[in-house]
């Protein structure tokens, strides 16, 4: 099973990501998103960032999680290469996500070829599979 697939969209970046669990699909969505900016498979796990976000529903949670990766890139020059762990949990009024991200700090050796401005709710879809079924998420990012 592929981790993700980039989908056609006139102006922006659209992709779907898959996983045996929703957690895995969220993690693969992060890799799909950064594949629009850099080649994550070439990034070494030399620095680590821990991410913690909360959302009123799973859609908001996914948007905020991906937004966190953009934020880490712009303010800490962090290039994501791997989602080491990712955990979702229900809260009283929504959902929480904790993830450990591995990657490198941007240097002159990296080629960054795309700029993602923000993660949108447009055509956002989350399909959580039951036991034995795969989960799928779909996201459009503003480029």
Partner 1 sequence: MDIRRIDENTWEIPAEGGMRVPAVVYASARLLQDMRRDQTLVQARNVACLPGIERRSFVMPDAHQGYGFPIGGVAAFDADEGIISPGGVGYDINCGVRLLRTDYTESDVASKSKTLLAAIFEEVPAGVGKGGVTKLSRSVLREILSRGAEWAVENGYGRKEDLERTEEGGRMADAAPEEISERALERGVPQLGTLGAGNHFLEIQKVEEIRDPAAARAFGIDFPGQVMLMIHCGSRGLGHQVATDHIEIMENAFGVAGLPDRELVAAPFRSKEGQRYYRAMCAAVNYAFANRQMIAHWVRDVFARVLGSARGVDQVYDVCHNVAKVEEHDVGGRSKRLVVHRKGATRSFGPGRAEVPAAYRATGQPVLIPGSMGTASFVLVGTAEAEALSFGSTAHGAGRLMSRHEALRRFRGEKIRDDLARRGIELKSTSWKGVAEEAAEAYKDVDEVVRVSSAVGLGRVVAKLVPLGVMKG
Contact footprint for partner 1 (CB under 8 A) = 6, 8-14, 36-37, 56, 59-60, 63-64, 67, 70-71, 73-75, 77, 106, 111-115, 117-124, 140, 142-143
Which residues sit opposite 117 in a β-bridge? none
Q: Which is nearer to partner 1, 91 or 112 (CB)?
A: 112
Is residue 136 within 8 A of residue 18, CB to CB? The reply is: yes
Closest approach of partner 1 to the CB of residue 32, in Å: 12
Is residue 25 within 8 A of residue 137, CB to CB? The reply is: yes
Structure tokens given for 136: 């799928």
Q: Which is nearer to partner 1, 24 or 101 (CB)?
A: 101
Which residues sit opposite 90 in a β-bridge? 95
Q: Which is nearer to partner 1, 12 or 128 (CB)?
A: 12
Q: Which is nearer to partner 1, 12 or 127 (CB)?
A: 12
3-state SS class at 106: coil
3-state SS class at 5: strand
Per-state percent for the chain, helix, strand, coil, to nearest 5: 25, 40, 35
């Amino acid at each position: 099973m592929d981790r993700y697939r980039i989908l056609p969209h006139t102006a922006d970046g659209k992709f779907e990501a898959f996983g045996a669990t929703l957690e895995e699909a969220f993690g693969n969505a992060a890799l799909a998103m950064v594949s629009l900016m850099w080649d994550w498979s070439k990034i070494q796990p030399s620095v680590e960032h821990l991410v913690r976000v909360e959302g009123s529903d799973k859609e908001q949670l996914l948007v905020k999680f991906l937004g966190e990766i953009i934020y880490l890139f712009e303010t800490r020059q962090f290039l994501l290469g791997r989602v080491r762990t990712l955990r979702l949990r229900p809260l009283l009024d929504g959902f929480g996500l904790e993830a450990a991200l591995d990657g490198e700090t941007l240097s002159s050796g990296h080629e960054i070829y795309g700029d993602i401005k923000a993660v949108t709710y447009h055509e956002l879809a989350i399909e959580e599979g039951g036991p034995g079924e795969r989960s799928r998420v779909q996201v459009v990012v503003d480029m």
